[in-house]
Amino acid sequence: MKDSNSHRPGFATRAIHDGQHPDPLTGAVNVPIYLSSTYAQEEIGKHKGYEYSRVSNPTRDALETNLASLEGGTSAHVFSSGMAAIMAMITMLRSGDHVLCGENVYGGTPRLFNQIVTRYGIEFSYVDTSDPENVRRAIRPATKLVHIETPTNPIMTLSDIRAIANVCHEHGVELAVDNTFMSPYFQRPIEFGADIVMHSTTKFLNGHSDGLGGVLIGTRPEHKENFAFVQKCTGGILSPFECWLVLRGVKTLAVRMRQHDSSGRRIAEYLAGHSKVKKVYYPGLPLHPQYELAKRQMCGFGALISFETGSLENANAMLRHVKVCTLGESLGGVETLISHPATMTHAAIGAEARAKLGITDGLVRISVGIEDVDDLLADLDQALAQI
Ligand SMILES: *Cc1c(COP(=O)(O)O)cnc(C)c1O
């Protein structure tokens, strides 16, 4: 396992201090929420670096500086949701370009690509990126971007970021990684060669299920220039208040992730030993087929676990009875959320696509929160007893 604190200053220190200095005017230790659309100018062309808040805002700047530091990128730009961030990334492409995408990424991603972006002459194809050779074979002369997610939802299949980055760079293609599931605390794709990292900040970065947001972290001057230009031109920016919520969330990211991970491991082990549970998908279990890769590219295994109950009836029998866990979509908050992918997050893709990905009607997914783990174990135990 890599030590996530092997950098100077460490991750938790940067999470609390980078981009967030005491306010020079008042000494306030928190970055103020700058609720101002415009900024007074002294004379023509003379201002303090801010003119209009679609273009830039001090609260947003603080968050963007912070997130660039945590992912080890050179720039970060935040948008009103994860989907808005992905759309901003796609504006780098032109008609005739091709994008290669993992076949099991967040459902909203192929919906955006296939149902909207293809209208503009950009082509998409999908492969199983758990084998980097599939990526090599599917790259075309027109390919400009490879977009992957690791681990995938809900089957927790990993993709080897370093191997895929190498394939991409041999072909002059950029690699984007949706790092929402791991957060930069447990996985930093740029260290393995990724060019762009994307997050739905709605999940672990915010961490409290009280705001939506998205971010693109770049590594080249063109990323910084392009994503800032998209913010200015299309306006899908994150509001100052929501920027502040993410800044507040990120300050506790390190301690939250440590707890998510320790409870996640306990619950995965408990489920793996339960007689009613037929299979557990969690990269931190030695029986996970990519356990070695997980240890190599992640420094923790996180909070997301899926398990097989055997049937829709079994899944519903337990889901009806959870008390501490909340039945609902989304993930990454302090509260434990439990969901049924076949009828919730993956309903729209259809039975055939679900079967191909291994998403059965009996599959249940948990995003383990940071409640007392003994209460979570007791809750799951009484709910599973209903099967
Ligand atoms: C939620 C999510 C998204 C979309 O983000 P929104 O903030 O809901 O727009 C993208 N990717 C992953 C992995 C997600 O979990």
* Pair 92, 234 in one domain: yes
Sign of CA dihedral 328, 196, 3, 299: positive
pLDDT of residue 133: 98
pLDDT of residue 384: 98
Question: From the alpha carbon of 212, which atom of ligand 1 is closest?
Answer: 7
Kindly state the percentage of the chain with pLDDT values over 90. 96
Dump pLDDT digits (tens) for 283-295: 999 999 999 999 9
- pLDDT range class, residue 1, cuts 50, 70, 90: very low
Residue 77 DSSP SS3: strand
pLDDT at position 2 over 60: no
CATH number, domain containing residue 111: 3.40.640.10
10 Å CB burial of residue 358 (0-12, 13-18, 19+) is middle
pLDDT of residue 6: 53
- Mean pLDDT check: name the lowest of 203-207, 216-220, 305-309, 356-360: 356-360
Cβ–ligand 1 contact at 106 (below 6 Å): yes
Provide mean pLDDT across the span 213-240: 98
Q: Are 254 and 299 in contact (CB under 8 A)?
A: no
pLDDT at position 58 over 60: yes
* Pair 17, 81 in one domain: yes
Dump strand ranges (E) for the chain. Answer: 75-79, 98-102, 123-127, 143-149, 174-178, 196-200, 214-218, 279-281, 304-308, 326-327, 337-339, 363-367
10 Å CB burial of residue 271 (0-12, 13-18, 19+) is buried
The string over 7-33, giving b where at least 16 C-beta atoms fall within 10 Å of a residue's C-beta and e elsewhere, is eeeebbebbbebbbeeeeeeeeeebeb
* Pair 222, 290 in one domain: no
Q: Are 109 and 138 in contact (CB under 8 A)?
A: no
pLDDT at position 8 over 90: no
Dump pLDDT digits (tens) for 321-363: 999 999 999 999 999 999 999 999 998 888 998 999 999 999 9
Residue 125 DSSP SS3: strand
Angle at which helices 240-251 and 253-272 cross, to 10°: 70
Active site amino acids:
54, 106, 178, 203
CATH number, domain containing residue 267: 3.90.1150.10
pLDDT of residue 349: 86
Question: From the alpha carbon of 85, which atom of ligand 1 is closest?
Answer: 9
Question: What are the angstrom distances between the C-alpha of 182 and each of 142, 206, 254, 257, 319?
Answer: 31, 13, 12, 9, 25
pLDDT at position 187 over 60: yes
Provide mean pLDDT across the span 281-308: 98
Taking the C-alpha atoms of residue 369 and residue 328, their distance in angstroms, rounded to an integer, is 13
Complete DSSP assignment for 239-281:
PHHHHHHHHHHHHTHHHHHHHHHHHHHHHHHHHHT-TT--EEE
* Pair 187, 332 in one domain: no
| Total domains, the chain | 2
* Pair 344, 365 in one domain: yes
The last residue of a domain, from among 250, 271, 301: 250
* Pair 311, 171 in one domain: no
Cβ–ligand 1 contact at 108 (below 6 Å): yes
Cβ–ligand 1 contact at 97 (below 6 Å): no
**pLDDT, averaged across the chain:** 96
Cβ–ligand 1 contact at 104 (below 6 Å): no
* Pair 85, 226 in one domain: yes
The reply to whether 1 falls in a domain is: no
pLDDT of residue 348: 84
Cα of 51 vs centre of ligand 1, distance in Å, is 31
The reply to whether 11 falls in a domain is: yes
Choice from 106, 182, 209, 331 to test ligand 1 binding pocket (greatest atom count within 8 A of CB): 106
> 64 or 347: whose pLDDT is higher?
64
Place of tokens 């707890």: 259
The reply to whether 280 falls in a domain is: yes
Ligand 1: which residue has its CA nearest to atom 4? 82
* Pair 68, 23 in one domain: yes
* Pair 236, 311 in one domain: no
The whole domain housing 332 covers 254-384
Cβ–ligand 1 contact at 150 (below 6 Å): no
